[in-house]
Structures are given as C-alpha cells and as structure tokens.
Amino acid sequence: MVTQGAKSQDVFAADALHSAQTFMRLLDAAPLGMLVSTLDGMVVYANPAFSELLGHRPEPGHMFQFADLVSDETNAITRLHFERLLRGEVSVSRGEHQLRHVDGYPVWAMVGATILPAEGDTPPLILVQMNSIELQKRAEEALAASESRWNFALESARQGVWDHDIRTDTMFYSRMWRLMRGIPANEEVDGDQDKWLERVHPDDRPRIVANVHRQDRGESDFDTLEYRERTRDGDYIWILSRGRPVEWDAQGNPTRTIGTDTDITRLKLMEQELAAEKERLRVTLEAMADGMISTDLEGRVVFMNPAAAQLTGCNAGNAVGRPVCDVFRLRSEQGDDQLPCPVRACLAQSTQIRIDDDSVLCAFDGPQRDIRATASPVFADAGALTGAVLVFQDVTQSRALQRQLAHSAAHDDLTGLPNRASFERALSAAIASARHGQRQHSLIYLDLDRFKPVNDTAGHAAGDALLKQVAQTIRGVCRSHDLAARIGGDEFAIILEDCPIAHGQAVAEKIVRAVGALAFTWTGRDYSIGASAGVTIIGSQPASPLGFMGEADAACYAAKARGRACVVAFPDMPSA
C-alpha cells in the first residue's frame, strides 16, 4: 500500500522531470545561440542555434574555451569582458564581438554572458547567449562608407555643410565650411546671425537680410543665395549657399534647415571676365560697318548686329529665330531672279561660300544694295558643325564706280559708243561664233564725208557736237543687240548679228541716208555732211586675205571712189 506522502514525492519528481524536459526543448528551439559551460570551460550544453551560427557542434563533457570562438581582431576585448565576469566585477557581460566560424570567416554577434550560481551538487555555470548582428554591421559599414564618400565628395568640391536649428537658433558648421573662410577646423564659431552678417559684403547685405528667412522657410525661389563673405585674411570670397528645411513642427513650421556653402570665387571671376569679354564683343559688333548674322545649325538667325539690321531693313528682335533666307534676300543684278542664300550652301557643304558679284540685297525698307558676302561655317571644339556666320558689306558705291570705270574703258568718252578695243573684242566673238556656230553677221565700216571743214571752220567743239549727233543717229538705226562703235576720229563700225549681206547693206544705206539728212547748225551757220560705208559678211572664213575688217574698209574706200554718200558691199567691188 502506497502512502500519500510517497505518492506526492513521485508526482513532484515527475513534474520536475517534465519541467526540465520542457525547458530543454525550449532551449533547443530558441532562435538565439545558447552555450552552457563550467567555469573551467567544459561544455554542458549547446543548442542547435549555436551550431548553426558558428558551425561548432560541441558535445557535453567536451572541454571548450569560449575565447577559441573569438576572431583575432576582438580577442583581447572579448577576453577582458569574460575575465571581469569571472572576477565578479559585473553580473552580466554584454557587447558586440566578432566571432570565428568553424570555416574561418568572421561573424559579428551580440554576446551576453552571466554566471549561474551553484545549486546543490551542481557547480556554478556560465550561460552564454549570442545573436547574429551581421546584417546590422554590414548596414553600419555601408552607412559609414556612404558618409565617408559624401564627406570626401563635399570637401573635394569645397562644399561646407551648415545646420540651423531654428528652435534653439544654434548652428553647426562642418570642417570645410570653416576652412574656406580661413577658420581653424577645431575653432568654435559663433552662429549668431548678426555676427555672420558682419562678414557679408556691405553691397550684398541688404539682399541677404531680405531673403535669408525665405530660405529658412523653404521658398523654392530662394533656396539658393549668392553673396560675398570676408575671410580671416580680409579678402572676400563668393559663396553659393543652398539650403532648405528638413524638419517641421506640428503646425508645419520649419524647425531645422540644412544646406551647403560652395566657394564659387573662381567661377565668379570667370563670369566677370566673360561678361567683360561679351561686352567688348558687343561693342565691337555694334561698331562694325559690316553686317553680321549668326545662325544655328538649321539656318535660323541667332544674332544680328545693328549694321545687318540697317542693311536688311529688318529689326534684330524680329529676325531672331527666323530662317536667314527670309531676312537676307538676294536677287541677280542682271534681273529679278532670286539667288540662293549662301548660308544654305555653307551649312550643306561645311565650307566657306563667297559672293562677290551680281548680287543685290533686297531690303525690307525699300532700298536695294549691291553687296559682297561671305558665309563661314562655325565648328565646336570637338569639330562638330554648330552653325554659320554671314558677313556682308554694302558695295553699291564701289560697284557703281567699277561699272563706271569698266564703261569708260570700253566706251568712247565723247559719243558714249563702244571704243575700238571694245569693238575688236566684239568682232573676235562674232568671228568665233561664225566659224564654230555656222552663223553669219554683217560688218559695216562707215567714214564721214565733209567732216573736216566743220572742224576747221567751226572748231573742235562744233566737231565734237556733230560727232555726238552722228553717234545717236547710227544707234537709232541699229537694233538693240547690234554693236555700233567709234573706232577713229570720224570712223565708225557696226556689227549686225545674224544678218545676211543684203539686209546688212540695207541697214548701211539707211544709216548713210540718216547721216546725210542731219541738219547741223553752229553759231548761226548750217553745215551739211554725209557718209560712205562698206559692208562685208562675217562667215566661217574671210572672202579675201584682207580679213573681215580689211574687206569692209576696202568696200568703204570704193564707196568714196564712186562719189561718196553711198554703200558698197565687198563682193560687189569687182563690178563697181
């Protein structure tokens, strides 16, 4: 018979065993690594999470030193922590330790250790818990590396960081912020705004005072400020300050603003130099008498100087953006045919295009001007075509002078008819066209009769006036494309293009009659003159060794021999 007391002891023992088994299952299932050892390092227990963390699978009763799990980098610190625990200086040791996996690679873990006091026959034990913080450490390392990169990048760019706590009105300044102002890196800086404004250039101070609070409020148009600030050595540097709020209170008011200051002194100096250079260029372009138009790659006007606006009659503001061919309009000097704009060819061929002759600029305000122009391609540093520049000059006066000189060189000063040199060129051209083009032209040689008495009795002025009337008379009989020239004192020659000998003889007779009918009066006295003419045909070959001009001259001589005031054709001379 079992007594009640004995039964209670059995139940108690069973409950204790069940509790111990339950506790062991809980340890086995725990996600944290658990290790229990004696004070001298003999392993009592290690759960699966421990083995999974470090790869070690120590068996109970195995001698095992926890220091063997620690990497060389943190071995001294870890040993110090456990020695303090064993000496009773701390009841719990907790810290980050770099452990060594069984395969040799390090594993960061949060390690906690405590001593379980002896109980009955059980000696004191060390209970160690460990949890992997590898991901946390990697994140910290990545964050540290990122911060290092940002700090290096900011300092390399000479950007100083500032942090304004609006609630306490305190400022933080980075090392580079101090260095760019000549302030030692470890020197405390008074962040009072009035102190800072004392260093701002007096010319910039009113603008900064008016706008700095807008930067604190985060207004988008005022997140960037430019100003000059005095450094410790007394010089001023240009600061580009960017900043905006990063924290707000419950009412939406900014409580903290962070930003960067960049030293842009060199950029400002370059900007000022470029501005000065631009102003010099503007003054130069406006002072130029030549017109200049700059275009983009599509041939649209980018810039036009005042001279170009005046010459084209187009306002520069209205011209910008328009195709240059709409602004710079050309036509031929010989007619109304429109000429292509040289900029198009310049951009298409990537080469310089010149226009020197036969070009008239049609201005919007009416005047038409003879011009000379040059269109040149514009290339970037890399060699890519970026546009063109057109430079042109008004050459109306010089071209008129050239035409006048050319006319004088080719025409008789007295009568205005082509001179002998011009006639000889025209005769050569007519002979060439007859020889190669199978054409026929008539050549008339005309000599005045009874002209010398006018010169002798009335004087050279009267003779000159009479020659002018004769020239007008000859020109009036000829067709517009025929050439009538004065080749001597009272000698004239006419080339009748594409004219057979019979028709040429008829024209010569008409001229002779018209000259004979002239009524010339000088100082109250009437004078009567006449003319004799010889005609020959300009064909593929002369009819005699005399040549075409010799034949016409001989025929004219024959006409004088027949009694003057008549016409003789060269082939008719033998029967005369």
Q: What pLDDT shows up at residue 148? A: 65
Count of CB atoms situated within 10 Å of the CB of 448: 20
Answer for the pair 393, 371: CB distance below 8 angstroms, yes or no.
Answer: yes
Instruction: Note the helical H segments in 227-323.
Output: 265-287, 306-312, 316-319
Q: Which CATH number fits domain 411-575: 3.90.550.10, 3.30.70.270, 3.40.50.300, 3.30.750.24?
A: 3.30.70.270
**Matching fold, domains 148-269 and 411-575:** no
Q: From edge to edge, which strands make up the β-sheet containing 159-165?
A: 170-173, 159-165, 254-263, 236-248, 224-230
Q: What pLDDT shows up at residue 576? A: 36
Angle at 172 (CA atoms; ends 168, 177), nearest 5 degrees: 150
Q: What pLDDT shows up at residue 402? A: 79
Answer for the pair 487, 479: CB distance below 8 angstroms, yes or no.
Answer: no
Using CA atoms, how far residue 186 sits from 177, 191, 261, in Å, is: 12, 15, 18
Q: What pLDDT shows up at residue 382? A: 83
The CATH architecture assigned to 293-399 reads 2-Layer Sandwich (3.30)
Whole-angstrom distance, CA of residue 550 vs CA of residue 562: 18
Answer for the pair 180, 263: CB distance below 8 angstroms, yes or no.
Answer: yes
**pLDDT tens sequence for the chain (576 residues):** 545 555 555 554 555 455 556 766 777 888 888 888 888 778 888 888 888 888 887 776 666 666 677 777 777 777 788 888 888 888 888 888 888 888 888 888 888 889 888 887 778 888 888 888 888 888 777 766 666 666 666 776 678 888 888 888 888 888 888 888 999 888 888 888 888 889 999 999 998 888 887 777 767 666 788 899 999 999 999 999 888 888 988 888 888 888 889 998 998 889 888 888 877 877 777 767 788 899 999 999 998 888 888 888 888 888 899 999 999 988 887 777 788 889 999 999 999 999 877 788 888 887 788 888 999 999 988 889 999 999 998 888 888 887 788 888 888 889 999 999 999 999 999 999 998 878 899 999 999 999 988 988 889 899 999 999 999 999 999 998 999 999 999 999 999 999 999 999 999 999 999 999 998 899 888 888 999 999 999 988 887 878 899 999 999 999 999 989 999 999 765 443
490 assigned to active site: yes
Q: From edge to edge, which strands make up the β-sheet containing 491-496?
A: 483-486, 491-496, 441-449, 530-538, 567-569
Catalytic residue among 490, 498, 553, 572: 490
Whole-angstrom distance, CA of residue 202 vs CA of residue 197: 9
Q: What pLDDT shows up at residue 18? A: 53
pTM of the model: 0.48
- The 3-state DSSP class for residue 220 equals helix
Whole-angstrom distance, CA of residue 242 vs CA of residue 222: 9
What are the sequence ranges of the domains in the chain? 24-132, 148-269, 293-399, 411-575
Domain 148-269 is classified in which CATH homologous superfamily? PAS domain (3.30.450.20)
Sequence-distant (≥ 6) Cβ neighbours of residue 471 within 8 angstroms: 412, 415, 416, 417, 484, 486, 492
CATH 3.30.450.20 fits 24-132, yes or no: yes
Whole-angstrom distance, CA of residue 518 vs CA of residue 526: 10
Using CA atoms, how far residue 289 sits from 180, 368, 395, 567, in Å, is: 49, 17, 12, 59
Instruction: Note the helical H segments in 301-439.
Output: 306-312, 316-319, 324-327, 342-349, 396-410, 420-437
Q: What pLDDT shows up at residue 343? A: 92
Q: What pLDDT shows up at residue 567? A: 94
Closest CA to 448 of 409, 488, 399, 505: 488
